[in-house]
Structures are given as structure tokens and as C-alpha cells.
Structure 1
Amino acid sequence: MSTLIDVAEGAADSEHQQRTPLLHHPSSPSPPQREPRDEAEPEITPSTSPGDGRDTRSVSSDQRLASLDVFRGLTVALMILVDDAGGAFPAINHSPWFGVTLADFVMPFFLFGVGVSVGLVFKKISSKSLATRKVVTRTVKLFLLGLLLQGGYFHGRNQLTYGVDVGKIRWLGVLQRISIGYFLASISEIWLVRNISVDSTLAFVRKYYIQWIMAILLCALYLCMVYGLYVPDWEYQAVRMSFSSNQSLQNVYCKTRGSLEPPCNSVGFVDRYLLGESHLYQHPVYRRSKECSVNSPDYGPLPPNSPGWCLAPFDPEGVLSSLMAAVTCFVGLQYGHILVHVKSRGQRILFWSMFSLPLLMSGYVLELLGIPLCKPLYTVSYMCITAGVSGLLLTLVFYLVDVKHWRMPTVFLQWMGMNALIIYALGACELFPAAMQGFYWRSPENNLVDSTERLLQAAFHSKKWGTLVFVMLEMLFWGCVAGFLHMKRLYVRL
């Protein structure tokens, strides 16, 4: 998460070539070479040379790109919103399987921001081997942090217990998926970029076309596996949702290939084979589907004659779907390249729009051709639409924050984006609420967190609207925490 955690920082002290503007004027002087910047100052765009006839108000290389901080802060805030208010408002919660809701845009926003940041921090590479070692180190750190936060050790809010059976630890999760995308995008930026000057659109394509080929190959591999891999019948130990927690052996009949339904898709088959059933996410979103919940699209008891796969584990951040998710990082990478090479703000907005709109259209066309939108499988149509929306959102934020200078209305989001790792770990992963709930009066229900939420629900005479206000106050709280850390110049990074 360069957007989420600035994992791409620190590689800015690498690259022997100076990238020139995409629309370069022959008579304009070359930008001066600059010394490597400290890790505390990532996501910097190059300065505009005076007298080149372009917009001299473009973001200086001595400033952070505020819009990217706002984008990452908005993403973290959105994650808190959908995670904590999604139960009260199922319409914004993750789609049970097919379709897209507000929550289903969070992961692509993270991945897209990673790509943008990678494209910015690898402007200069003095030593490819050194840059590669730094990327590998950050990838491992990010993966291990995700394993700690989402592997099962921290049980989160309303479950005041800690620890995990290593035989059931969840190997993959949000941070692990982002580490995979970050690694692939960074390695491609280090090794697959041609050492040529960019003075035209054609030169831009020649410089980065190998990265595009790699992204296409990842899509091709994903499609071949999803539609070509044979899925046999399988069985699993089902834990019934009852106080007895009885286990029973359930059979799932498949013997098919090319299925995108919950029980018989290749994504789940690969994860069961490589990771093991006990190491997958045990509460998949399809338990909220009509086939598996009487309260659909919310969780609920199993309907009569529900299919046997309703209690089967499935990891929404699995191995195969992470390949397609990495393509979103490659898309964001090209937006970062435009930031580096294009100096005019208006031209940046134009080029970003020219990338975003065709992506959106491609996603809708693929859906019409029979490839449905599905976040748990990270289908190609889902990737195209969410990446296109990510690009349009960044374009809008860039226009409002860096062109129109709407800084005050977005200052809380900017602070959260500048310290997104600590907000994600303590807020989105519920470490802080769970710690606060550890202090209670006589019974676990009488704690500050739950008591505040119940008070707001009573004040608004509505459980869902009281919950929404509670979540809004929660986001305001984390914005203030991030602002305090910013004033103290404290930034938590890997």
C-alpha cells in the first residue's frame, strides 16, 4: 500500500536516467538533476522548468503531491466506513458474489494507489540490484505485517481473545495481496523499463510497452486458469452455526471447468490445493447470498434445503485472484508515469481521462460478453471497471486539491493519507477498538466503545443511523489522530 502504507518509499534513491516531459519542447532546458530524497518525502513530482511554456503552477518537486495523500486517506476512510457500517447498511457492504457495491471499490483503490506511487518513487535508479533488495525487503515486511494483523491472532472487536492455532492461520489477506501487487509492479519498474528519453507519446509507449505486455500476460494466465482448469468434486468439514459447533463432512459436486459460481470455481480450487482448506477465510461473502441466508444480503440462518457449499471456506484474497489484482497496480503505474513525464496539469487530467474511460467501457463490454463483475474472483471485467473508477477518482481529487487548491475541506483525509499505516492497523483492523473494549465495567458489554454506539443509536432512535453517526465520529477521531502525528512529524512506515 503505497497508498495504504507507503511501502514504495525509500527506492527514490535509485535510477540513473532522468525522465523528460512527455510533451517536450526542444528548446526547453532539461530539469536539473536532484539528490536522492529522504524516505519521509515520497510521491514527489518533478518541477517544471521555467520558460517552457507550460503551466508553471504544476506541483513542485519540493512538495508532496497532496492529491495522492487525499486519495489514500479517502481509501482508508472508506474502508472504515464499509467495514463498520456495512452491517447496518447491507447495500454498501461487499456484494455476496456477483455485482459491485461501494465496499468492492476499496481494494482496487489500494492497489491502484500502490501503482501510482511506484511510478513516482522509481524516477531515478542508480543500482537495480540495490533497488530490488529494498523491494524484496519491503514486500516481506508487508506480507508479515498482514499475516500478523489478518492471520487470526488479533480477533478484533467483540471478541476479547487473542492467539491463533497455527494449523488454521490464514496465509493471505489484504496486506498480503497488496504486497504481491507491489512486488510485481516494482520489479517491472526496475527491470522492464527501457532507458530512453520520453519526448513524445510514441516514446512513452516504447519506454513502457514491456510492462503492458506483462500485465496482458497476467490477464491471459488468469483467464486460462479460471476457464480452463478442471475442478473435481471436493469435500470439507462444515462447522454448523449453532452453539454445539458440531462438524460434519460435506460433499460438493463439481466435475466442471469454467464455472464462476461459489462452489466450483478455479480460484477456490487453487487455494484449497496450495494453501489448504483450514488456512482460508472461514466467513466468505457468499454466506450472505440468497442460497445461504434468509436475511440476504445480510448474514443470517441457512434457508431450508440450502446447498452444501454454504459453509465452505473461501479466501477473497486468494492466489489466483491476486494475479489479476496485480494488474490494477500496473494500471496505476501508468498514471504515475504520466505524473512524471507530463508537466501541465490540464494535460495530466486529459491523459488520465483518456486511460480511465476506455477501461470503464471495456469492463462493461466484457460483462455484456458474459464475464460478470465479481470481487471475490477479481474477474477481468471487475478489474477494468474498478481501475477505471480509480483513475477517474484520482483525476477528480487531483483537480480539486492540486488545481483548485481545495485543501481545507480535505485536510483530514490528507492527514490520514500521510499516516495511513497506523490508521489502517489501529482503526480498520480494529486493534484500537478491541483494546478499548478490554476495559469494561462488570461485563464485557459495558465498555466505552459499545456504550457510545448504543447511546447514539438511542439518541437517533435508529440502530442503523446511530451506527452511521458512530462510524463518522470514528473517522473524525482518526483524522484528528493523524493530524496530531503530522504536527509532531511522526510517520509510521515500513
Structure 2
Amino acid sequence: MKDRILAVDIFRGMTIVLMILVNNPGTWANVYGPFLHADWHGYTPTDLVFPFFLFIVGTSIVFSYTSKEVTLLTYKKISVRSLKLIGLGLFLGAFTFSFPFFKDFSEIRFPGVLQRIGVVFFVTAILFVNLNWKKLIATAVVILIGYWIAMAFIPVQGLASTFDRAPNNLANYVDLNVLGSHMWKNDYDPEGILSTIPAIASCMLGIFTGLILLSKQQKKTTLLIGLGGSYLIIGHLWDIFFPINKALWTSSFVLVTAGWANLFLALIYYITDIKKIQFGSLFRYAGANAITVFFLSSFIAKTFGLIKVNSECTSLHAWLFNTIYVHDFMSMQLSSLLYAVTVMSFYLWVAYYLYKRQIFIKV
């Protein structure tokens, strides 16, 4: 698309930068408050980050596949991109720094952030190139209501279903019985099998925003604000019956996060594309190589955690943090935050370097 919508690029970049900031504290024992996830129900600013990225994936699907003839090559490109994302995620999950460089099969975690992005992108893109907007809306509604019905009313092992972190939680039950030891924790996985279905709806809601942005409507900002506000109201009302929960990716969570995504995107769109105010160039650079920068940050962070620098088996990450950032005159939370900001700044520089040299690595 020749006439790119700057707000989308900036929003994507901001989301990736926040993902890096959240994922790289100096120590997980002292994370700066706003960068913590909710314990279970409810949400914090950090809980918005991943659904924001899936939302913008949906918006980008509209820009990529609108007005293009759908052929076998289209399906091939969608499939290959999805498999690349899943493969990168599995690589991160299996990688170790010492020989033989990969974990034993029984220790590998199958789900993950990149794996979910790959699956969600594949399903959403296939739906978009085959359905009109009315059928897409109907599909999203069916997913959200169907997931609620399944989670609320299907009994598990003879017990009434629950939304708590318990054996008779349907999403947890499915993950335990299908994934077994290949999970993040032994009682739930935040990127589990069943909860990936409503994550598809998060991406689909981004499609509807993309359609608005590409339309000839004059008051796009107003439409985005109205849509976002509606999602927020419905999501918070639904929270009474189906609690907002990131780990379970509940239907109320889908709506509330999409609501905030629309409001933030509307604000950025008004500033950059309506008022033509120069804003967020650094984020635009990060958005241009979003997956590349995210993968690199994850790979290096994992490597720093695996490299041991002394006889006490202190990791390179811990050594750097304790040597440079831990001081008596500041709290551990502030030290942890400063480490995360340093890491984030480095990857912003990487993104800037790639952008200025017109290096765009497509996954």
C-alpha cells in the first residue's frame, strides 16, 4: 500500500517497545509495579501489550490483502509466514547455550508468544480473504460467545466449570491433557490451546479497525473512539459474568483490550494523520522490523540468562544487573526498571539502524 497510515506503524512500534520493556526487567523479583501482570482476574497496563499486537496484526492484514486477487500463492504466503513465526517461537523455547544447544524434547514448551501470533495470523488472514465484513463480524461474535459458553457451562471431570486457576478450569484441563509437560507451568499456560481461539477474535477486531481506516469515511477518529468506547463498556459489563483474564484470554478481556487499542490508535491517528504533527519516529522504526526486533531481544535475553560468568554460576544477565544497576541509593524496583529501559533503548537503536539503512527483514 503506497499511502501508508503512519499511526498504524507507530502503534505497532510502541507495542513492540513495550513488549521488550516488560520482558526484560533487571530481576523478576523486583519488577516495577505497572509492568506486572494481574495475578489472575483483572488487568494492568502490561496485560494490554500482547492483545494490542494481535489487534494491530489484524489491522495490517487489511492493508496487506485488500484489493488483491486471492490465489494459491496468497495461501502459500500466509502459510509460510505462519510457519516461520511458529518455528521461531519453538526455536526460542528449545534453545540452550551449551552443547547440544537444544533441550531434551520432553522439556520443550510448545506454546509461546510467537507461536500464538503465527496461529492467529494464519486463521485470521484465511478468514479475511474468504469472508465479507458481515460474515467476519458474525464469526467474531460466535467465537466470543461460544468461548464463554464452553468455559462457563462445560463440566470438567464431573465438576462444575470455574474461571479460577483450578483443575476444573476447562482451558487448564485441555492444556494439561494435550500438552502435558510442554507447558509454561504445570497448572496453566498463558498461550494455551483453548485460549488461542478468542485470541483470534482479538485479531479480527483489528480487522474492523483496518477497514475503517481504509474506508472513505470522513470522521475516522470519531468512529474509532465510538468503537473503542463500545468495546470497553460491553467488556466491563461482561466482566460480571466472565471475568477479565489475560491467562484465559476471556471474551471480556478481548473486548476491553480492543477498546483501549482503538482509543490509543484514534489518538495517534488524530495527531499524525489528521493534524500532521511529527510524532513517534523512533516507534515507527521499531514497527518497521517489529518481529525481527522482538525475536532478537528474546534470543539475546535468553542467551544472557544461560551464559555463566563465574564459579558461582551467576548468569551474564544477573552479573550485569548486579554490577551496573544495583546501588544502595536506589530501590531494587528502580534498578530493575533502569535495566529494562537500557535494554529497550538498545533495541530502539537497532531498529533505527535497520530503518536508516533500509533493511526490512520480513518474517
TM-score for the superposition, normalised by structure 2: 0.90
2:172–2:188 Cα contact (<8 Å) kept: yes
* Pair 1:421 & 2:294 matched: no
Kindly indicate which of the two structures has a greater share of residues assigned to helix. 2
* Pair 1:265 & 2:207 matched: no
SS at match of 2:165: coil
* Pair 1:69 & 2:48 matched: no
**Which of 18, 21, 24 is the aligned partner of 1:78?**
18
4+ residue runs over 6 A deviation: none
**Gap change, CA 1:473 and 1:168, over 3 Å in 2:** closer
1:403, distance to aligned residue in structure 2 (A) = 2.7
2:21–2:343 Cα contact (<8 Å) kept: no
Separation in structure 1 between the aligned mates of residue 324 and residue 49 of structure 2, nearest angstrom? 29
Separation in structure 1 between the aligned mates of residue 77 and residue 336 of structure 2, nearest angstrom? 42
**Which of 189, 193, 206 is the aligned partner of 1:315?**
189
**Gap change, CA 1:74 and 1:450, over 3 Å in 2:** farther
SS at match of 1:258: coil
Segments of 5+ residues of structure 2 without an aligned counterpart are none
Separation in structure 1 between the aligned mates of residue 203 and residue 265 of structure 2, nearest angstrom? 14
**Gap change, CA 1:84 and 1:128, over 3 Å in 2:** same
AA in 1 matched with 2:124: A
Superposition RMSD in Å: 2.5
Question: Which residue is 1:116 aligned to?
Answer: 59
Separation in structure 1 between the aligned mates of residue 332 and residue 105 of structure 2, nearest angstrom? 37
1:177-256 equivalence runs, <5 A = 177-193=116-132, 208-232=133-157, 255-256=158-159
**Which of 102, 105, 109 is the aligned partner of 1:163?**
102
Question: Which residue is 1:486 aligned to?
Answer: 355
2:304–2:317 Cα contact (<8 Å) kept: no
1:444, distance to aligned residue in structure 2 (A) = 5.2
TM-score for the superposition, normalised by structure 1: 0.68
Question: Which residue is 1:364 aligned to?
Answer: 236
AA in 2 matched with 1:267: A
**Gap change, CA 1:69 and 1:450, over 3 Å in 2:** farther
AA in 1 matched with 2:227: F
Structure number with bigger Rg: 1
Separation in structure 2 between the aligned mates of residue 452 and residue 324 of structure 1, nearest angstrom? 38
1:453–1:470 Cα contact (<8 Å) kept: no
Separation in structure 2 between the aligned mates of residue 154 and residue 356 of structure 1, nearest angstrom? 42
* Pair 1:456 & 2:328 matched: no
1:177, distance to aligned residue in structure 2 (A) = 1.3
Percent identity reads 27
1:259, distance to aligned residue in structure 2 (A) = 0.7
* Greater relative contact order structure (CA < 8 Å, 6+ sep): 2
1:191, distance to aligned residue in structure 2 (A) = 0.9
AA in 1 matched with 2:16: V
SS at match of 1:491: coil
**Which of 313, 323, 334 is the aligned partner of 1:465?**
334
Separation in structure 2 between the aligned mates of residue 167 and residue 465 of structure 1, nearest angstrom? 38
1:179, distance to aligned residue in structure 2 (A) = 1.7
**Gap change, CA 1:425 and 1:459, over 3 Å in 2:** farther
